[in-house]
Chains A and B, each alone.
Chain A
Amino acid sequence: DAGITQSPRHKVTETGTPVTLRCHQTENHRYMYWYRQDPGHGLRLIHYSYGVKDTDKGEVSDGYSVSRSKTEDFLLTLESATSSQTSVYFCAISESPPLAGGNQPQHFGDGTRLSIL
C-alpha cells in the first residue's frame, strides 16, 4: 500500500471556523491531489500540486486553499468553514514521470470525514 497518511481522520467543527487537513506521503511522489466525495457526485478535484510550491485549482476550489512546502506534505485549508463543505476528503498521490504517454494512476489515503455544524 502507498504510504499516505491523512490527519485528522474525523473532525467536527462549527461554521465560520478555519480547518486544516493534512496529507503526508512517504513515497516521494511529485503529484498530490485533494478530492471531496459526496453522494451522487463521486470524487471531485479541489486542488492539486505538481511540485513543491506548485499548485493549481480543480473543479471545486472555491472556499479552499492549499500549500505544499515540502514534497511529502500537502495541506488543505478551509479558511471559514461552511456547512456545504461537510464531506469526506481524500488525498491522492501519483508518480512522475507518466508511462507510455499516459498518466500514472492515483493512490488514495484513508480519507478525512469532516462535519461542519
Chain B
Amino acid sequence: QKEVEQNSGPLSVPEGAIASLNCTYSDRGSQSFFWYRQYSGKSPELIMFIYSNGDKEDGRFTAQLNKASQYVSLLIRDSQPSDSATYLCAVKARGGGFKTIFGAGTRLFVKA
C-alpha cells in the first residue's frame, strides 16, 4: 500500500461544476496536509494546507480533512478551464524530521 494514494484520473468536469479530488494516507500519525497544483511542465505550487479536522476554505477552494478515516479532499467550486492541471496531495507525518510524502497526483480536466 502506498503511503499517500490518489486516483490518477483524468477527472473530467464541465466548466462551472464542482471538482472533487480525494487523497488517502496510511500513517495515522500524520499531522499536516497540503494540496499542490502542477501545470504540465511546471513546478508544483501550493494551493491549500490543513492541519485540523474539518473544512478550510480559501476562495473557490475547500480542503476537507478527516483524520479518523485518513482522508483529505480538495473541492474546487465553479471550475474553470484554467484549473486543468495535476493536483498533488502531500502529507507530513508527526516526527520523522521534515519529510513530506507526495501522492502521484490526480489529473483534472475542466471542459469549456
Residues of A within 8 A of B (CB): 31, 35, 40-45, 48, 50, 56, 58-59, 90, 94, 100-103, 105-111
Contact = CB atoms under 8 A, between A and B. Distances in A.
Interface of B: 4, 8, 31-32, 34, 42-46, 49, 51, 88, 90, 92, 97-105
A56 B96 CA distance: 11
B34 A105 contact: yes
A101 B31 contact: yes
A105 B47 CA distance: 10
A109 B43 contact: yes
A103 B94 CA distance: 9
B105 A42 contact: yes
Nearest to B2: A42
B102 to A, nearest CB: 4
A110 B99 contact: no
Contact of A48 (B46, B90, B99): B99
A48 B97 contact: yes
Nearest to B51: A102
B92 A42 contact: no
B88 A42 contact: yes
B104 A106 contact: no
Given A48-B99, A103-B32, A106-B100, A43 B46 contact: no
Contacts of A58: 99
A106 B99 CA distance: 10
A48 B51 contact: no
Contacts of A110: 42-43
B88 A43 contact: yes
Contacts of B31: 101-103
A90 to B, nearest CB: 6
